[in-house]
Structure 1
């Protein structure tokens, strides 16, 4: 089939070391030149895709995340989580996952979550006698929650690519994110309970718990404010990003007093750099998907599916398997932008809910974050610890299996995704 030949050729090009945005643009431009004999109109195609109001949410959420990181609020989040869990088997591991869950709702980035929480949590777990593979796996897996629990840049790009409500995608990611965190906690607690040299502390008193909650209360208000505003229909996703950025400034500048003009400028630069990279990849993917549409590749896929009698579940499982393979070699944003326009006609044909599919896609991309050879969270843990990659992979492997089992559960029970998304007041 022509689509497999096209994707194989693109992968070969990307394996040469060409940046993803350049590879997509060059390959798409070359195909367009061969197909039409010129590149006329390509600038208009790119402009129409990038000139999208919803994309403003990406730099705003990025700015919000970098402000909170520079404000060093993660220490309070982690300390509060540990205060409540330190008496449990694997209390530090549980606190790490809880801190990842909350920080994911602030950062929207898996790498940022793994890096920020890991720098605090891994030394602590090793000091308290945790097996190093358990420590590495907990942070690597917990960090993946950054792109599932809203806000999420991959969800925004998927929503823009498929014309799906970003607000509903965000709401749809809440239950799967909490479910995934719960599965991680159960496994980490089980593993820790079997360790012979584990150090545990006595249960914190009510006064100490209250003080810990008070200390991290402001950090916890940010995800509640952003997600609550979208849930109640007060904000669109873009408006929530702007409101969240302002609240992040209020918390870090006037309450924590850990951020000044220099840190604000640095956060703005870092958010702009990340957004610029994402938009360049989006521009390249737009050229590539435009050529595929002109070649009627999506329509050919629908026709092939109709002829084979493939049903909704079979299609979803086949796509999930393909994305697992692609995730071993490509960055998650590229996977979304390459596959979403191709699969959209098939999804419409099979009456697949785009919110459900979008959340399944993001869960699948989480798996890619801790799957070699290009699992970004694996490299993040290695950067923190300087540990051999083989140990980090072994520590992360059980979580890959847990995530795949959770993915199958979400495929079997779509309401775990759709109940909140479809019953949210005024979400846009």
Structure 2
């Protein structure tokens, strides 16, 4: 009950217009001044939580994504996917799912995936006769793969907070990400099979030509993830070397990146990272407050008293995460919930890698949850369509994500099989 009251107060402060980092500092300060008389180790709490080597990878992965977006490599990626799927029923929509999947492995950002792929794919899908609802939905839904298929900034933060191997988390996201992409593609095949090339469509480039054009960009996820999986470098080193390789691809091979693009990407990555680090600092104080108020112990005791099974607890948490996702962004949700629920997870024997993927799926649903969500706002900005129309387009994808989450709760090996093949002992 204490946890829910604190969350309600925090959300109320946000609705009053207080920035997230300020709310995370002020609420614990007020509560602890009232209950404890102050926070004697405030500086140590903040610096101790920001002094993490793994956190360096977050701004580097963000910079890598900005370089690839500003280098405009997604045009070739979509062209290759479209060349492969051109003769398939609903191929233009399935090509969009494939492009989202590949770009997700490059950018690690759902919003960047929806924005970049959507600019190219939505006009093409509409020209081929796909319904507006189908075209909007496949981009918004496919864009959510950005935080599930590695590299993923929310997964890096989750690994940091829970002291979990980010390498195993990345590995665990591969099969669920590909499974959700396959489900999305099957839905497009079943519902948008009427889409076909216009009569005046010129012959497309050959598949070989299209693949050669996209080949270099597709080496980036192989380079980054392969280096992590085979122990060549850590996640932080992978972020740095991946950023360097992205620069080589965009600036020297594609020759589509200017110094201005690099500078703008650095600025954007810096702003986003500074905001995140301020939120992490505030969340550290918030977590200290929870510990002093014994909220984690209360939650663990509540779970024991209610006799919740592992499955029951996971379902309850997925619902809570979805609700929080309607008002908070993914980083804040991870930082606010994990310190409180880790003891309950340990008591129930819930694997942290498994939970990390389930949490990411819930965050994906929040990214596309009406009435307003970032991916939906992106689609509206691209197309100028009414938000109500965009909202309706995403309902099937929310249901598919919910079904995928339920499947992975019922069958944990979908998530854990691949990490265990790579040596994970959890």
Work out whether the TM-score is over 0.5: yes
Question: Does structure 1 retain, via aligned residues, the 8 Å contact 2:108–2:146?
Answer: yes
Deviation at 1:262, TM superposition (A): 2.3
Q: Specify the alignment match of 1:46 in structure 2.
A: 46
Question: Does structure 1 retain, via aligned residues, the 8 Å contact 2:129–2:194?
Answer: no
Relative to structure 1, the CA distance from residue 201 to residue 212 in structure 2 (aligned partners, 3 Å threshold; closer, same or farther) is: farther
Question: Does structure 2 retain, via aligned residues, the 8 Å contact 1:91–1:200?
Answer: no
Q: How many residues were matched structurally? A: 425
Deviation at 1:321, TM superposition (A): 1.0
Deviation at 1:385, TM superposition (A): 1.1
Partners of 2:424 and 2:411 lie apart in 1 by: 24
Deviation at 1:138, TM superposition (A): 0.4
- The reply on whether 1:155 has 2:155 as its aligned counterpart is yes
Larger CA deviation: 170-179 vs 126-135? 126-135
Question: Does structure 1 retain, via aligned residues, the 8 Å contact 2:24–2:283?
Answer: yes
Partners of 2:300 and 2:325 lie apart in 1 by: 24
- The reply on whether 1:391 has 2:389 as its aligned counterpart is yes
Q: Give runs of aligned pairs for residues 87-102 of structure 1, distance below 5 A.
A: 87-102=87-102
Q: Specify the alignment match of 1:5 in structure 2.
A: 5
Q: Give runs of aligned pairs for residues 25-424 of structure 1, distance below 5 A.
A: 25-193=25-193, 198-199=196-197, 208-424=206-422
CA deviations 1:324-352 (Å, max 9, x no partner) are 11111211111111011111111111111
Q: Secondary structure at the match of 2:159?
A: helix
Gaps of 5+ in 1: none
Partners of 1:373 and 1:20 lie apart in 2 by: 21
**RMSD of aligned alpha carbons:** 2.0
Partners of 2:199 and 2:28 lie apart in 1 by: 58
Larger CA deviation: 29-38 vs 326-335? 29-38
Relative to structure 1, the CA distance from residue 201 to residue 96 in structure 2 (aligned partners, 3 Å threshold; closer, same or farther) is: farther
Larger CA deviation: 65-74 vs 418-427? 418-427
Partners of 1:127 and 1:19 lie apart in 2 by: 42
TM-score, normalised to structure 1, is 0.96
Question: Does structure 1 retain, via aligned residues, the 8 Å contact 2:83–2:205?
Answer: no
Partners of 1:70 and 1:43 lie apart in 2 by: 38
Deviation at 1:353, TM superposition (A): 0.3
Deviation at 1:261, TM superposition (A): 2.4
TM-score, normalised to structure 2, is 0.96
Deviation at 1:208, TM superposition (A): 1.4
Partners of 2:106 and 2:75 lie apart in 1 by: 14
Partners of 2:304 and 2:127 lie apart in 1 by: 58
Larger CA deviation: 300-309 vs 45-54? 300-309
CA deviations 1:55-81 (Å, max 9, x no partner) are 000011111111111111000000000
Q: Secondary structure at the match of 2:394?
A: helix
Question: Does structure 2 retain, via aligned residues, the 8 Å contact 1:20–1:281?
Answer: yes
Deviation at 1:88, TM superposition (A): 1.5
Q: Secondary structure at the match of 1:292?
A: helix
Partners of 2:15 and 2:332 lie apart in 1 by: 14
CA deviations 1:120-144 (Å, max 9, x no partner) are 1111111222111111100000000
Question: Does structure 1 retain, via aligned residues, the 8 Å contact 2:168–2:424?
Answer: no
Question: Does structure 2 retain, via aligned residues, the 8 Å contact 1:225–1:244?
Answer: yes
Q: Secondary structure at the match of 1:88?
A: coil
Deviation at 1:39, TM superposition (A): 3.3
Deviation at 1:38, TM superposition (A): 1.9
Partners of 1:374 and 1:366 lie apart in 2 by: 14
Relative to structure 1, the CA distance from residue 201 to residue 351 in structure 2 (aligned partners, 3 Å threshold; closer, same or farther) is: farther
Deviation at 1:5, TM superposition (A): 1.3
Question: Does structure 1 retain, via aligned residues, the 8 Å contact 2:130–2:194?
Answer: no
Partners of 2:16 and 2:189 lie apart in 1 by: 42
Partners of 1:287 and 1:153 lie apart in 2 by: 22
Gaps of 5+ in 2: none
Deviation at 1:393, TM superposition (A): 0.8
